[in-house]
Amino acid sequence: MVFKKKRDEDEFNFDFFFDDFEEEFRRMNERISRIFNEISRHMGDVQGPFVYGFTMKIGPDGKPRIEEFGNVPKMGFSELEGYREPLVDVSDDEKNVYVTAELPGVEKDQINLQVDETTVTIRTDVPERRYYKVIELPERVKPETAKASYHNGILDVTLEKEQPKKKGGTRVKID
């Protein structure tokens, strides 16, 4: 976006300023309309509400991580049609990885929680509240250490990090 000054004047002209904003909003609106039209063509008769967005966090390595979320199926992928994607937050400290997921409208015994060394999978199959999400963890964990609690629609999972193997390895004699 470029801000303009009126010619031969040092004073800022707000009409030009707002013209730039209006043009940018017009282009954004066109892009959003194209996206929703494309989604509706691929989704057929699937009913909303639809949620789609991005989260951005800075990882422990200092690099930004951008992740998609929502219940809008990926183009051409309909295996999980009808599922909502819960909002999820992943954090960690020196010893543990913490996963928090919002799962309103379900009971504790309706949640299927699976954990392996690199992912946490959450799934519910309650007809009116179907949730599904595979969460990539920032570090490897010990699945057998998983502890979970569920209160007021919030699922909290704590996983102990797998300790890195000592570097150096085994010394090999060269013949």
Residue 115 CA to residue 55 CA, distance in Å, equals 22
Query: What pLDDT, on a 0 to 100 scale, did the predictor assign at position 78?
Result: 44
- How far is Cα 143 from Cα 162, in angstroms, rounded to an integer? 9
pLDDT for 28 equals 74
Question: Is CATH 2.60.40.790 what the domain over 53-160 is classified as, yes or no?
Answer: yes
pLDDT at residue 1 tops 50 = no
When pLDDT is averaged across residues 55-79 and rounded to a whole number, the result is: 61
Q: What is the pLDDT of residue 66?
A: 67
Q: Is the pLDDT of residue 165 over 50?
A: yes
Report DSSP state, residue 93: -
pLDDT at 4: 47
| Omega prior to 127 cis, within 30 of 0 | no
> pTM for the full model?
0.57
Tokens of 149: 């609690």
Q: Cβ(111)–Cβ(150) under 8 Å?
A: yes
The yes-or-no verdict on residue 141 having pLDDT over 90 is yes
How far apart, in whole angstroms, are the C-alpha atoms of residue 128 and residue 133? 17
Contacts of 96 (CB under 8 A, 6+ apart): 158, 159, 160, 161
C-alpha 32/C-alpha 48 separation (Å) is 17
142, pLDDT greater than 80: yes
Q: Which of the pair, 127 or 39, is modelled with greater confidence?
A: 127
Q: What are 58's strand-pairing partners?
A: 64
Q: CA-to-CA distance for 55 and 52, rounded, in angstroms?
A: 10
Under 8 Å between Cβ of 97 and 90: yes
**What are the pLDDT digits (tens) for 82-120?**
778 888 999 999 999 999 999 999 999 999 999 999 999
Q: Given pLDDT bands bounded at 50, 70 and 90, which one contains residue 161? A: very high
Comparing 86 with 122, which gets the higher pLDDT? 122
**Percent share of the chain, pLDDT over 90:** 34
Residue 60 has what DSSP assignment? Answer: T
